[in-house]
Amino acid sequence: MKKGLSSSVITFMLIIASIALAIIVISILFSYTGYFSNSGSEITQAGPAYISTSGQLTISIKNTFYDAKIIGVIYNNTLHSITPIILTTGINTYTINTGFAFPSNNQVSLILVVVISSQNTIYIPVTAKVLL
């Protein structure tokens, strides 16, 4: 009776230890590949942005994500989805048709550019000068 109980306790302890070890190994692997952390990854407006009254936004974006794309624009709490624009890493300039008309009496407009990556949805606040 004691031998059976002893071997079942040892088996139970081995199962618990192997599960704990598996969890530790998996978390180390995910941390190493950056699955759970985005340390050092950023996407921001780089330099001035300009927008025409017809809604063409020209913006420079600094991107360190390898799989980011622009999927929409928010203006006056309204989302306009766009054909996805794949962002390359580094600082690049993009022209986006926002789908909104901007009044010529505004000198500056605040727009949110919606970007997605495999792990995040990112909203880039953009201050754009309205071109007449």
CB 132 within 8 A of CB 104: yes
Under the banding of pLDDT at 50, 70 and 90, the label for residue 5 is low
Question: In terms of pLDDT, which residue wins out, 110 or 31?
Answer: 110
Average pLDDT over residues 1-20: 78
Give me the mean pLDDT over the 48-52 stretch: 93
Q: How many CA atoms lie within 13 A of 71 on its CB side?
A: 11
Question: How do beta strands 121-131 and 49-52 pair?
Answer: parallel
pLDDT in tens, 72-88: 999 988 999 999 999 99
* Burial of 93 per CB tally in 10 Å (0-12, 13-18, 19+): exposed
Strand 78-86 with 90-97, pairing? unpaired
Q: What is the mean pLDDT of residues 22-42?
A: 67
The residue with greater pLDDT, 90 or 6, is: 90
Question: How large a percentage of the chain has pLDDT more than 90?
Answer: 44
